[in-house]
Structure 1
Amino acid sequence: MSSLKHLTVQANGIRMHVAEQGDGPVVLLCHGFPETWYAWRHQLPALAGNGFRAVAPDLRGYGATERPADAGQYSLFHLVGDMVGLLDALGAETAVIVGNDWGATLAWQAALLRPDRFRAVVASSVPMMTRSPLPPGKLFPATDDALFYTLYFQEPGVAEREFERDVRLTLRKLIFGASGDAGARVDGDGTPNPFRMVTRRDGLLAPLPAPESLPAWITEADLDVYAEAFAASGFGGALNWYRNLDRNWELQAALDGLTVRVPALYVVGERDVGLSIPGMRQIMDGMPALVPHLRDTVVIPEAGHWIQQEKPEEYNAALLAFLRTL
């Protein structure tokens, strides 16, 4: 089996760091927040060993990839353009696009917009959704004392100051808080949750536990890799993805009513924090109307939001089984 390689390419006008392994049909792996290419460390060798060319970039604003200063440069149209540009840079005509968290949103949109380049899609944690009747900024709750976490991320500098005060502790809290190890995930069960209302006084991190020992699926050395990346890059580029939620809503008016027309697989952890968001299960149930070629929805027991890291054997089995049907 070929070894893991790191390279830097020009894609859509930015320098992009990419990890890749293997030869064969391209499988493009898109990470979420707060992650890097390293989120796919278990999938790269598994895919390579099964005849695929696995490609895991640091996405725009993350890791060793460029971080444009203008927050307006992080719309989903820019991000999909990055993935098309990456295929061009790699000399690949098509790919299966795979994503988790924000990477899942990117994967759905790439498959929706460019089915000629993305021949199938695998999304985990975030389902395909219809365009909301109002901009997200007007739908998410806010009071005098607290606001939804996506609204907390909107003002430049606020979340950055909190997160960059102690990068390693921030990652420890966010990663553990959204994992299956943090507890059961049912509506209103009180389990610590990074994706929730944030008090204006205390910020997002204060209520989250900082475990003395990490879960078995992530080591201190793994956390070091993430901490080193975010210590170098900061969190601003990553948070700029959230600062385009309303702009994405505006730009996607022209796409309203389109469906994803390529084969698709959805994978979710039984304990994913997203399942505790009101209405999320109804959105999942409605996916076949938006994704007519959805082959299956796989629920992985005891897994949380970082599903491909928490349960790599189960995730890889579902991913490879789907790829073999294409």
Structure 2
Amino acid sequence: MNESLVSKYKDIVTSRGLTYHYLSLPAVGDKPTLLFVHGFPSISYDWYHQINYFSERGFGVVAPDMLGYGGTSKPTDVSLFLHTAVAQDLLDILDAEKVQKAVAVGHDWGAPIISVLSMKHSDRFLGFAWVVVAYQIYSPVPPIDVILEMQTKTYGRPLMGYWKFFGQESASAIIEKNLESLISVLYPDDPDNWLTLMNQPGEIQAFIENGKTTKRASYLTDEHHSRLLESLKQSGLTSALNWYQCMLKGVNSRIMEEMSEEDQFIRKPAFFAVARKDHVCVYDYAVPLMKKYATGGLKMVEFQGGHWVHLEEPEMFNRELEGWIGNTLQQSC
């Protein structure tokens, strides 16, 4: 990220008393503002390719450190990670910046949050962009072993074996002793490493407990790696892992009860960047889901890499996202 942008960060106490640290850059002329929502285990810096690209072209940017990360509050109370409440936190930020309508872009755990924004606050947005992780339809979450068994029957392998580790109370302490192990797993040079380390139960825990590392992806630059590592050292993982705990403990299981049938569909234009080699957020699940629910129009772009397409192929990602935004705004006029 351009170092001159560091001074553009602000802090806000949201309506529920939580502090958010966020980057805010005003739009120029009639350009829209983009709300970038990151996931695990990132910080707002994760969007630096997009922040530089779009701000240089006059787009407004709002990029918060999400709950549990960076300069934002790090609560240990899992109930505070209720996705509808987190979505309201983001609206509080947009209100503070006097942004009436934005384009929301979410990756990883950011994707469910923009799903909630689509369901409950569609009128505040021009469109929604899901990065790798598809639109989230909420329902009671069965025990993780049941989920893994269902995935094995459907896809020939479990997909979320790592959730068994991330859901343990001891996971944060284990990871904090071996942060480089976690980073090398999540940002691997070979995305096929996820077929074992992420998909298969027990694999990531054994890997991290033993302090192992695999070759780090080249797209995770030394600068980015340094910022990520320092953030994780300062923040720890206890709060951040509540993004998993809040699902496993049913915090979000009743969200759909608040939605009408109409609200369950994406009524605004949707963009979906799907990754062929994301072995957790798999193509065969994500694409039919997006096609079913994106009734307001869908632009889908395929990437050949893994989970971090906005880092791995930023030029293509930025170009496609900008083109979709332009077409979306033209159609809405």
TM-score, L = length of structure 1: 0.85
Task: Say if 2:20 is the partner of 1:20.
Answer: no
Cα pair 1:182 1:192 within 8 Å, conserved: no
Cα pair 2:178 2:208 within 8 Å, conserved: no
Counterpart of 1:123? 130
Amino acid of the structure 2 residue aligned with 1:233: S
Deviation per CA, 1:269-311: give whole Å up to 9, x if none.
22112255xxx5144223222120232111012x210111111
Q: Cα gap change, 1:183/1:168 in structure 2, threshold over 3 Å: closer, same or farther?
A: closer
Task: Say if 2:292 is the partner of 1:285.
Answer: no
Amino acid of the structure 1 residue aligned with 2:190: A
- Which secondary structure does the structure 1 equivalent of 2:42 belong to? coil
Work out the number of aligned pairs and report it. Answer: 307
* CA RMSD between the two structures: 2.7
User: Kindly, what percent of the aligned residue pairs are identical?
Assistant: 25
Counterpart of 1:299? 302
Q: Cα gap change, 1:70/1:191 in structure 2, threshold over 3 Å: closer, same or farther?
A: closer
Residue 161 of structure 2: which of 104, 124, 148 is its match? 148
Q: 1:23-102 maps to which residues of 2 (within 5 A)?
A: 23-24=27-28, 25-102=32-109
Residue 263 of structure 1: which of 269, 279, 290 is its match? 269
Q: Cα gap change, 1:172/1:202 in structure 2, threshold over 3 Å: closer, same or farther?
A: closer
Amino acid of the structure 2 residue aligned with 1:169: S
State the Cα distance separating 1:128 from its structure 2 match. Answer: 1.5
Cα pair 1:11 1:82 within 8 Å, conserved: yes
- Which secondary structure does the structure 1 equivalent of 2:274 belong to? strand
Q: Cα gap change, 1:283/1:37 in structure 2, threshold over 3 Å: closer, same or farther?
A: closer
Q: 1:133-212 maps to which residues of 2 (within 5 A)?
A: 134-137=140-143, 139-141=146-148, 148-156=161-169, 158-176=170-188, 181-184=189-192, 192-199=195-202, 202-203=205-206, 205=208, 210-212=213-215
Cα pair 2:111 2:136 within 8 Å, conserved: no
State the Cα distance separating 1:89 from its structure 2 match. Answer: 1.7
**After the TM superposition, which of the residue ranges 1-10 and 110-119 deviates more from structure 2?**
1-10
State the Cα distance separating 1:101 from its structure 2 match. Answer: 0.8
Cα pair 1:192 1:208 within 8 Å, conserved: no
Deviation per CA, 1:103-151: give whole Å up to 9, x if none.
111112112210121221000111114344x524364237xxx983223
Residue 310 of structure 2: which of 298, 308, 311 is its match? 308
Cα pair 1:173 1:208 within 8 Å, conserved: no
Amino acid of the structure 1 residue aligned with 2:51: L
Counterpart of 1:187? none
Cα pair 1:80 1:109 within 8 Å, conserved: yes
Q: Give distance in 2, aligned partners of 1:300 and 1:18.
A: 28
Where in structure 2 are there 5+ consecutive unaligned residues?
150-157
State the Cα distance separating 1:316 from its structure 2 match. Answer: 0.2
Q: Give distance in 2, aligned partners of 1:166 and 1:53.
A: 37
Deviation per CA, 1:1-38: give whole Å up to 9, x if none.
99412221222321111123352421000011111101
State the Cα distance separating 1:227 from its structure 2 match. Answer: 0.6
Cα pair 2:67 2:74 within 8 Å, conserved: yes
More helix by share: 2
Amino acid of the structure 2 residue aligned with 1:148: G
Cα pair 2:138 2:255 within 8 Å, conserved: no
Q: Give distance in 1, aligned partners of 2:112 and 2:242.
A: 15
Cα pair 1:22 1:49 within 8 Å, conserved: no
Counterpart of 2:152? none
